[in-house]
Amino acid sequence: MLESVSWVEKNFNEAPDAIFIFRDDQLLVSNYAARTLQADYALSTAYITKLMNSVVQQQSSRTDDCFNCAALDQAKPAIPFTLPVKDGHPLSFFLVYSELDAAKKVYSLTLKSNDLLQRVDQLAQQRKLVQYVNRAHEEERKRLSQDLHDSIAQGVYSSIMGVRHLESTMAQADPTAFAHQTKLIESQLYATLQEIKGMALDIRPSVLDSFGLPAALKALAKRLEENTGIEIIVVAHDIAELKLSEDVQTVLYRIAQEAMTNAIKHAEANEINLILVAHEHEISLEIIDDGTGFNVKEHVSFNGHSLGLLNMNERVKSLHGTFQIKSEKGSGTTVTASFPIA
Amino acid sequence: MGDKKLAADLAYQELVRTIYQQEDFDFVGIALQDTTSWRKIHWRYAAGNTSQRFRKIILRSGIGIAGLVIRTGEPFLENDLAHHQYAGYMSQPITLIEQLTSAVAVPIFDQDHLVSGVLLAGYRQQQRVTAHSGHVLQEYLQPFQ
């Protein structure tokens, strides 16, 4: 029994949240975190007592706007609370108040650091995002390696076999067979060449570097149209004079790619509209599809599929842009990204 | 030359229609490879199609069912297209656009015994294709080779 009391005490002392226990207006016990907080910010016990007291009174006076409120009675009050600190940033907390002994007026106050909670959330989110990006990298490598092995190596190999066969037709001195064989090898090499070009385009569109974003978007749309049979309409004005940074152009291109891929893969779209417009001090890209749509709220949180969207959002934010997805079941999806321009 | 091409055109169109009428396939189509240097593959003739979207598809050798058959010269047979190794909108647009669940495809050879195209037939309602379905298609192609 004694031992377990010491454990409880140890736990209390080492808790990351600052915990104070009061009777009436007197501070009875506080844990290590609470004492450090007091010491770090030179807060006198009397000051804290006063502050807490007023907060508690604010909470217990039910006269403000809610009478006989069942929800308020049941909820353990967790009050967002900012501790004003002299010569420094105010500290944001969540203040949890619980009555330990109503008769003796003993109550405890726990200060949960708001920053800490948010930080934990952010960290978890970041970790998932890093995981997702890594996995996407790995997937891409896998696909490239497969493509190299399956199509290009295969094409070169069959050309080699063709040349060998050519030698034997030479030996037989058969001109028709020879002509036929050269034609065959030529067609194989052409096909391989096309595949190499296609792969290069998939990895990084050289059009983007040499002819700019509108041309790259048109080329991307044409390629997707050819691969899927879905109609893609591109409206892209000439934006050469805006001198967009390479980063912004790349992000806009990738967003167009991701949004269109999503529309084709998941939304069964029949038609996609892609609009790139420059306004005064802003450039915006809209991708509108007529597919099945989805409930955006359900997909904003982590569920494995929406990380692509989240990743797009992060990329846009890092360049000071805004990113928005509007969608409803049965009425298509609109993805919008815009960036401020000088 | 033009007449010859027109005649081939009509013959292929007639062929897909005949197969569609005589067999129980939900979709029958023919893709041909261009003889120009780009060697692109288009779906040219179809029967039982749900839209004209198939005409927009342009494939390269090795991509898509038609590209695969043209590359290998071997028949293609799949009863679970949704979970096929190369499943996906990029690799099998025709099955996606025509909502096929199973398909069989055989190569079309030209006079030089080079693969010049693909004859494909498929189902939308989970009916199965077999090696026999491939033979049936090849029978229909006999007069063209």
Q: Among A137, A95, A88, A90, which residue's Cα sits nearest to residue A112?
A: A95
CATH code for residues A2-115: 3.30.450.20
Question: Does B60 sit within 8 Å of A194, measured CB to CB?
Answer: yes
Interface of B with A in 89-118 (CB under 8 A): 89-90, 93, 96-97, 112, 114
Structure confidence at residue A61 (pLDDT): 62
Residue contacts between A and B (CB atoms, under 8 Å): 62
What pLDDT does residue A166 have? 87
Q: Which of B60, B93, B114 sits opposite A195 (nearest CB)?
A: B60
Q: How remote is the C-alpha of A112 from its chain's centroid?
A: 27
Which residues on B lie below 8 Å from A190 (Cβ)?
37-39
Element holding A198 (H helix, E strand) = helix A175-203
pLDDT at residue number A65: 56
Instruction: Report whether pLDDT(B80) > 90.
Output: no
- Return the exposure string of A216-243: e unless at least 16 CB atoms fall within 10 Å of the residue's CB, then b: bbbbbbebbbbbbbbebebebeebeebe
CA-nearest residue of chain B to A150? B62
Helix/strand/coil for A111: strand
Q: What is the mean pLDDT of each run of 10 residues along chain A (342 residues)?
A: 83 83 82 82 77 70 56 58 64 75 81 73 82 85 82 85 86 83 84 81 80 89 85 86 85 90 82 90 91 77 61 87 88 91 80
Instruction: Please tell me the predicted confidence (pLDDT) of residue A83.
Output: 67
pTM of the model: 0.64
**Which pLDDT band holds residue B15 (cuts at 50, 70, 90)?**
very high
ipTM score over 0.85, yes or no: no
Residue A201 pLDDT = 78
Sketch out chain B's domains with CATH numbers: 2-144 (3.30.450.40)
Whether A232 and A260 have beta carbons less than 8 Å apart is answered as yes
Q: Could you give the CA distance from residue A238 to residue A249 in angstroms, rounded to a whole number? A: 13
Question: pLDDT band at B23, cuts 50/70/90?
Answer: very high
CB-CB under 8 Å, B61 with A191: yes
In which order are the strands placed within the sheet that holds A78-83?
Answer: A26-30, A18-23, A106-113, A91-101, A78-83
Q: Which of B57, B61, B97 is the best residue to mutate to test the A interface, defined by the most A CB atoms within 10 Å of its own CB?
A: B61
Question: CA nearest A191 in B: which residue?
Answer: B61
- Confidence band for B82, pLDDT divided at 50, 70 and 90: confident
**What would the mean pLDDT of B54-67 be, rounded to a whole number?**
81
- Cβ under 8 Å to A: B residues 22-61: 37-39, 53-61
Q: Long-range contacts for A28-32 (Cβ within 8 Å, ≥24 apart)?
A: A28/A106
Q: Which of residues 67-106 of A touch B (CB under 8 A)?
A: none
Which of A173 and B88 is assigned the larger pLDDT? A173
Show me where the domains of chain A are located: 2-115, 205-342
Sign of CA dihedral A224, A226, A229, A232: positive
Per residue in B107-119, pLDDT (tens digit) is 998 877 778 899 9
Contact with chain B for residue A194, Cβ under 8 A: yes
Q: What strands, in cross-sheet order, belong to the sheet with A271-279?
A: A231-236, A271-279, A282-289, A333-340, A322-327
Asked whether the beta carbons of A96 and A80 are under 8 A apart, the reply is: no
Residue the block writes with tokens 């609370």 = A81
Q: Do the chains contact at A231 and B56, CB–CB below 8 Å?
A: yes
What CATH number was assigned to the domain covering residues A205-342?
3.30.565.10
